[in-house]
Amino acid sequence: MFSCAALVTGYPSPPENLLPVGLAHLRVAQAIYAVLVELEADPDTLMVEAGLDPRLFECHGKLVPYSSLGRLIAIAVERTRCPHLGLLIGQRTTITSLGLLGLLLNNSDTIGDALRALEAYLGMLNRGAVVGLGIDNDVAVLTYCPYEPGAEGAVHHSDRALATATNILRALCGSDWAPLEVLLPRSAPSSTTPYSQFFRAPVRFDQETAALVFPASLLKRRIAGADPVLRRRVEDRIRRLESARPSTLKDGLRQHLRAEVIRKRCDVMKTALRLSLGRRTLSRRLRAEGTSFKQLANEAQFRVAKRLLADTKMSMTEISAVLDFSEPAAFTHAFRRWAGMTPSSWRQGNHSETKREEHQ
């Protein structure tokens, strides 16, 4: 346990500013071990099967590949026959378990400030996904997008993340808080009761992204007990860590475009403006890193397409519209170019239900 002062002045090794893309601090998923024990599974055996050292959970501050945590959860889902395992893990994650970031959220001025801080600084704890906050008239949408949506266990990471986000909002707003609705990019399990009981809201499956939907007016609510002096100290500390973290334009754009694909905003001019760069400068810098905006945008579309094909029952027409193709035929043509086969053929061999049947 760390005091507030310790969280502001120091952090366990390795420092958070060294967190590379694709890695997460172990405390992002510290609840995994406890949940597996509760389900009478053997965590050590499952960790070895997932390619992880069973002693991993003894190492506070340890970094772990995000994909490995996803593989562990996916294997555990199969062995325990608990399709809502990710939900159980997320339920055990609290705002205090987010360390320095949780301290910033707790002391933000408003709920909107807290969620924008989560959007900006999630990378301190988790470089395997991005969070986005959008507002449409009187409705706010908090989205969670895995950086590698096609990776094993990504669907369970989404369950976990939305449960964690709900716990964060309940910590800030009160334990009776509930969203207007919950969106999940997965097919509905045999029983949806655990989801409706925890979220206390309508849960819609087979959606294009993972999201919590709630009234936009909530963003203006002030956070009780927030300490502005402590908030400034924490934010200064986080900004120093962020500025020291090595990253490339390519990696940053990959994460940005991952969220923008769903919003149909993969526009090179808008992206350049967001980065305060000219279009030619953006193109030149990406070329120097061996890629292009179009290549990164196509990569993001391909990743999202694979996730929707594998984990949902959305039709080709629906997926085509989500990815902003003019018609299903254009989507099929692009997917064949990316994968060497049609989306229907790829889905037949990779759909999550097909995989579950093969394991049974």
Q: How far apart are the first and last CA of the chain?
A: 42
Residue 56 · residue 30 · CB < 8 Å: no
Measured CA to CA in angstroms, residue 331 lies from 266, 280, 305, 345, 350 at distances of 16, 28, 9, 14, 18
- Does residue 243 have a pLDDT over 80? no
- Does residue 47 have a pLDDT over 80? yes
pLDDT for residue 275: 65
Among 63-77, 232-246, 269-283, 298-312, the least confident range: 269-283
Per cent of the chain over pLDDT 70 is 75
Residues 187, 193, 196, 200, Cα dihedral to 10°: -170
Residue 115 · residue 95 · CB < 8 Å: no
- Does residue 270 have a pLDDT over 90? no
> Residue 33's closest CA among 50, 11, 15?
50
pLDDT for residue 11: 30
Residues 165, 156, 324, 305, Cα dihedral to 10°: 160
pLDDT for residue 265: 57
Peptide bond preceding 14 in cis form (omega within 30 of 0): yes
pLDDT for residue 357: 45
DSSP code at position 12 = P
- Does residue 222 have a pLDDT over 90? yes
> Residue 91's closest CA among 17, 185, 188, 200?
200
Q: Which long-range contacts (CB under 8 A, 24 or more apart) does 288-294 make?
A: 289/248, 289/249, 289/250, 290/250, 291/250, 293/253, 293/268, 294/268
- Does residue 153 have a pLDDT over 70? yes
- Does residue 8 have a pLDDT over 50? no
pLDDT for residue 14: 33
Average pLDDT over residues 299-309: 88
pLDDT for residue 163: 97
- Within its chain, how far is the Cα of 240 from the centroid? 24
Distance CA 308, CA 321 (A): 12
Mean pLDDT of the chain: 81
pLDDT band at residue 295 using 50, 70 and 90 as cut-offs: confident
pLDDT for residue 353: 56
> Which of 44-48, 134-138, 209-213 tops mean pLDDT?
209-213
Distance CA 156, CA 187 (A): 12
Residue 350 · residue 340 · CB < 8 Å: no
Among 201-205, 237-241, 338-342, 352-356, the least confident range: 352-356
Average pLDDT over residues 237-260: 68
